[in-house]
Amino acid sequence: MYQENVVLCGASAYERKYYFNQDFASLPEEVKKELQILCVLYTEEIGGVLTLEFDEDGLLQFRTEALEADGTYDEIGSVLRIKQLREEKKELLEALQMYYRIFFLGEEE
């Protein structure tokens, strides 16, 4: 059975907008702000669109995309920045995965 990823949040350099999925409104405000800063700074630095999505296993994935005609999108920088974010925000990302698995997938700790 195919199941779509669940978007947590995202930002677009094209629309200069940030999106937060209200299904996660119960997250602490500090976490929401940290996610917004992470996404917006990424798109300001790299360009394109960044979304943070939970896959069917509850793992948080960084998904990026850019318009084909976008010559300013930094594809190599994107890979490096995501790797850096995964290291710097490891504790936050793991906590979000645990939150998702418990409250959305119904798993026990």
Q: Which tens digits make up the pLDDT trace of 29-79?
A: 999 999 999 999 999 999 999 999 999 999 999 999 999 888 889 899 999
Q: With respect to residue 83, please indicate whether it lies within any of the assigned structural domains.
A: yes
* Phi, psi of 29, deg, nearest 5: -55, -40
Q: With respect to residue 108, please indicate whether it lies within any of the assigned structural domains.
A: no
The amino acid at 72: T
Q: With respect to residue 1, please indicate whether it lies within any of the assigned structural domains.
A: no
Q: With respect to residue 32, please indicate whether it lies within any of the assigned structural domains.
A: yes
Q: With respect to residue 109, please indicate whether it lies within any of the assigned structural domains.
A: no
Q: Where are the alpha helices (DSSP H) in 1-109?
A: 29-45, 75-88, 90-103
Q: With respect to residue 99, please indicate whether it lies within any of the assigned structural domains.
A: yes
pLDDT digits (tens, 9 = 90+) for 9-35: 999 999 999 999 999 999 999 999 999
Q: With respect to residue 65, please indicate whether it lies within any of the assigned structural domains.
A: yes
Range of the domain at 22: 6-103
Q: With respect to residue 93, please indicate whether it lies within any of the assigned structural domains.
A: yes
pLDDT digits (tens, 9 = 90+) for 74-109: 899 999 999 999 999 999 999 999 999 999 999 886
Closest alpha carbon to 58 in 94, 33, 32: 94
